Structure 1
Amino acid sequence: MIDSILTWTVQRRLASIEYFRQNPHEVQARVLQALLLKARATEWGQRYGFADAPSGTEFARRVPVSTYEQLYPAIERVLRGEPDVLWPGQVQWFAKSSGTTNARSKYIPVTRESLRECHYRAGRDMTALATSLYPEKRVLAGKTLSLGGTHAPNPFRPTEEASRVGDVSAVIMQNLPSWAEYLRTPPLEMALLDEWEEKIERIARHVLSINVSVLAGVPTWMIVLLRRVTELAGAGNITEVWPNLSLFLHGAVAFGPYRELFRQLIPAEQMRYLEIYNASEGYIALQDQRDSEDLLLLLDHGIYYEFIPLEQVESENPQALSLEQVELGCTYALVLSTNAGLWRYAIGDTVRFTCLAPYRLRITGRTKHFLNAFGEEVVIENADAAIAAACRATGATVRDYTAAPIYFDAANTSRGGHQWLIEFNESPPNPAHFTATLDQTLRELNSDYAAKRHRDLALSPPVLTIASTGVFTRWLASKGKLGGQHKVPRLSNSRAIIEEVLCQL
């Protein structure tokens, strides 16, 4: 009965989802006006005339696009407890990102409104869509096993216990409404442990006897937990421990390279996978179709969206497009104005629209995470697809990877190349075949890469370096970024990251 009541409750959101699918521009205009009205008396609201209720075009003319570095002086004041800077009142919670846009961590304000109207509303949407897409799975009949990070006192206000910073997953878990907390496992105090090895061990032992029907978390770390649970249970695979397991809600990293490994870990016909796009800055999109991995852009969740064409990202005055101006197939840098007080904030992610009615997209990478040392313009979307194709061709499964340029040297002055450092769960029996498939798939997906690789004129064939087991975990641990939302940067135009990881071999 509880399962039926919860399903009915969350599915009431389906009508709202359909409304913004059908009326995207009206909904976005309304979101912008609500944001401006709420923040009109803040410092930024007064500086840029939010009380005038400017249109989207006028809003874009008045307010500059900001990177984290440009917005940081205002964010630091919020961190230190100043009220009414970017958003009304004093902000108590901050999501601490892994700093993938630059070397240092980023602190993103998480307001009461962003928790309630963005993250939790999107969580209900996710649950509503899952129960609607897979009614036969009885998604809410068991527990959702969620892996997250931890939180700690705000270092800018260490004496104020109420002000905390942490992974966005930990911030969300700590503040979950009672209905959502009822659905999840393990207990909160265990889920928020900061020692990752202890957390995995304690969670694994706790959930052995739990009826887990849904998994939620980052694929990289879920693999570690599933293997430990299976080992503790003395089982052949995880379905022997959790026979009702039927859904994995995953995000943070592209799932393609992990798909085959999860088929091996969870060899069950009933298993389904749904992707979510939940960043520190807000819950942005989620998968809403059974037969497509495209993500539905969430339009009534306190976020107003703009999009900068990729070729303008590095320009001094980039011209952001509104939702109605985007085109299919183009890559855009994502710009958000949110109910956490982020105004025209470039979050560093790039997306490509696959559908305009309704608006669906795919994450293509990061504005600063790509390989373009020689004009090849390889983005993460290309890399993940090529890794997945090489795995299919060779029977390999990948645990983690990163890639970087091999620059010209005295012995090779005419050509550059790429080094791919890959940690396998199942190594390819023929590494040369894996590398050749990776190379060929990149050629097929990316015309710039293909041109540079033509007859090896500008780019040498890729170099595969097989990493020893645990090397990326050791590297993350050395950076104090083990577990939670932290992840290995996939692509870089610098060799700094790959050289650090190689030192862990």
Structure 2
Amino acid sequence: MGLKSILSKPFANYAVWQISKWKNNAVSAQDKILQNLIESAKETAFGKDHHFTEIKNYTDFKSFVPIRDYEGLKKYVDRVVAGEADVLWKGKPLYFAKTSGTTSGVKYIPLSKESMPEHIKAARNAILTYINETGKADFVNGKMIFLQGSPTLSVKNGINIGRLSGIVAHHVPKYLQKNRLPSLETNIIEDWEEKVDAIVDETIHEDMTLISGIPPWVQMYFDKLSEKSGGQKIAEIFKNFSLFIYGGVNFEPYRAKIEQSIGRKIDSIETYPASEGFIAYQDSQKDKGLLLLADAGIFYEFIPADEYHNDKPTRLSLGEIELDTNYALILNTNAGLWGYSIGDTVKFVSKNPYKIIVTGRIKHFISAFGEHVIGEEVEHALLTVANAEGVKITEFTVAPQVSPKEGLPYHEWFIEFSSPPKNITSFSKKVDEALQKKNIYYFDLIEGNILKPLVIQILQKDAFVNYMKSKGKLGGQNKVPRLSNDRDLADDLGRYIV
């Protein structure tokens, strides 16, 4: 047992003791967070516009601060991006995390000097709670890899801008730096396929003990490792590999293939980080619920998902939630997001402590690879090209093809045309390019050779009508979802392909 693993156990014990102080008093912790947020931001432009000096409790807060998505906050964010201070939060942000928006293209999510340490602390504590519960710490002596975006940052009006994972790379604790891979030279490679090849070369002969990343990216890494090693399982290449940390997308579609690639079952930790804040992580191997971080600079609100689109939906604080109910998650953060609808839905599986599972998105979406493509984006991409070329669409839906028989994964579009394009290859290319312009993550995945361009399957006349009829869902309020994040609908539609 190495020195690091020996020292990590008392460190883990101390961290868990610290966590227990708010974990067992989460509602009280949330009350304090709300008061601190209001007090800290009362002199900001947003605080003045929303009467923060008059807010005494959560009821007051709800009366003055409406629910907004990014578009609703954009007029304030634009002022911050332009270099103005004291707009949403005191001073200026340390960073902007660049992410994909719905109608505005790129979103700029502020990260403050108060919020940035919470991201790092949460990632660290996810590991420390694992060590404390299991007693397993030998992995800290080996090499660790975090498959992430490029740490290269740009600057706008004095504020650094990058992807969250790239920003976080600049804040890795010193005691992990020597253990951490890949190297900076490899990490800044933009082309994902080239980058993974370089990571394989760097790591294949190392003692890799912890691997972390979004499941499809990790799977690509595993495939290339196996290919380079002559077909060996990952457990044969990395004999001491013992912990897999993941987040970003639903793991279940990838679980069987990843476990098959590894060659044996290993422990894993699920995390729920977002550019807006690190929200939860799995703190026990005994259950799948994620511990909601009630003392991490975020005051959470919850709207019953079926009320989300109401004019005046019910807004609940943590102490008011019920188990097994789907809630839209709302954030108020120490980086200046207020009444912010992150777009995710969660369900509580425990109140003691408060634990959640992520159940989906408020809107239909595809995020099998972390791209967060939504209905408005696919409709815009398809209809813009169709209208320009005189193509008529009867109905369509889109699903990810995660495991094609050959080649890279892709988005598979099932379209019933009433007036088809003259050249489906040219039409598909233009739709794909239109979607890349609309969604920056999808653009990155295509450019990085993680996905290949979309594939359109032409369906028979009345395919969707016949499908809905076969499911007993013809007419009424039933609709074909524009997007699915699984293959259920896509596989059923396969029988209608021309």
TM-score, structure 2 as length reference? 0.74
1:479 to 443, 460, 468: 443
Q: Distance in 1 between matches of 2:47 and 2:329?
A: 22
CA distances 1:450-471 after superposition (whole Å, capped 9, x unpaired): xxxxxxxxxxxxxxxxxxxxxx
What residue in structure 2 maps to residue 164 of structure 1? Answer: 160
Any gaps of 5 or more consecutive residues in structure 1? 372-379, 385-397, 406-414, 428-471
CA distances 1:157-214 after superposition (whole Å, capped 9, x unpaired): 3xx4xx3222211111123332343442112342233222221111111112221111
SS at match of 1:112: coil
SS at match of 1:148: coil
What residue in structure 2 maps to residue 66 of structure 1? Answer: 68
What residue in structure 2 maps to residue 273 of structure 1? Answer: 268
Q: How far off its partner does 1:36 sit?
A: 1.7
Runs of 4+ in structure 1 deviating by more than 6 angstroms, as ranges, are 398-405, 415-419, 474-478, 486-489, 495-498
CA contact (8 A) 1:152 1:164 kept: no
Q: How far off its partner does 1:361 sit?
A: 1.0
Q: How far off its partner does 1:264 sit?
A: 0.6
1:18 to 17, 20, 23: 20
What residue in structure 1 maps to residue 482 of structure 2? Answer: 494
Any gaps of 5 or more consecutive residues in structure 2? 379-393, 407-431, 455-478, 491-498
TM-score, structure 1 as length reference? 0.73
Q: Distance in 1 between matches of 2:290 and 2:451?
A: 21
SS at match of 1:301: coil
Structure 1 pair 103–267 and aligned structure 2 pair: CA distance change class (3 A): farther
CA contact (8 A) 1:401 1:421 kept: no
Q: How far off its partner does 1:403 sit?
A: 11
What residue in structure 1 maps to residue 245 of structure 2? Answer: 249
SS at match of 2:106: coil
Q: How far off its partner does 1:24 sit?
A: 1.0
Q: Which amino acid aligns with 1:355?
A: S
Q: Distance in 1 between matches of 2:183 and 2:44?
A: 38
CA distances 1:451-503 after superposition (whole Å, capped 9, x unpaired): xxxxxxxxxxxxxxxxxxxxx9x98997234599x9999x99437999xx9xx
CA contact (8 A) 2:365 2:483 kept: no
Q: How far off its partner does 1:342 sit?
A: 0.5
SS at match of 1:209: coil
CA contact (8 A) 1:258 1:399 kept: no
2:286 to 284, 287, 291: 291
What residue in structure 2 maps to residue 98 of structure 1? Answer: 100
Alignment of 1:103-502 (within 5 A): 104-116=105-117, 118-136=118-136, 138-150=138-150, 154=154, 156-157=156-157, 160=158, 163-269=159-265, 271-369=266-364, 420=399, 422-424=401-403, 479-482=443-446, 493-494=481-482
Q: Distance in 1 between matches of 2:441 and 2:324?
A: 38
Aligned positions, number:
414
Q: How far off its partner does 1:312 sit?
A: 1.7
Q: Distance in 2 between matches of 1:487 and 1:333?
A: 30
CA contact (8 A) 2:323 2:347 kept: yes
Q: How far off its partner does 1:426 sit?
A: 6.8
CA contact (8 A) 2:204 2:225 kept: yes
What residue in structure 2 maps to residue 2 of structure 1? Answer: 4
Q: Distance in 1 between matches of 2:372 and 2:115?
A: 33
Q: Distance in 2 between matches of 1:336 and 1:80?
A: 24
Q: Distance in 1 between matches of 2:348 and 2:143?
A: 34
Between 415-424 and 291-300, report the one with greater CA deviation.
Answer: 415-424
What residue in structure 1 maps to residue 38 of structure 2? Answer: 36
Q: Distance in 2 between matches of 1:45 and 1:401?
A: 31
Structure 1 pair 120–244 and aligned structure 2 pair: CA distance change class (3 A): same
Q: Which amino acid aligns with 2:251?
A: F
CA contact (8 A) 2:282 2:289 kept: yes
CA contact (8 A) 2:249 2:370 kept: no
SS at match of 2:204: helix
Q: How far off its partner does 1:359 sit?
A: 0.8
Q: How far off its partner does 1:64 sit?
A: 1.1
CA distances 1:10-60 after superposition (whole Å, capped 9, x unpaired): 442101222222111111111111222222221122223334562122112
CA contact (8 A) 1:309 1:330 kept: yes
CA contact (8 A) 2:246 2:268 kept: yes
What residue in structure 1 maps to residue 424 of structure 2? Answer: none
CA distances 1:357-397 after superposition (whole Å, capped 9, x unpaired): 111111111111269xxxxxxxx9xxx9xxxxxxxxxxxxx
SS at match of 1:333: strand
CA contact (8 A) 1:113 1:339 kept: yes
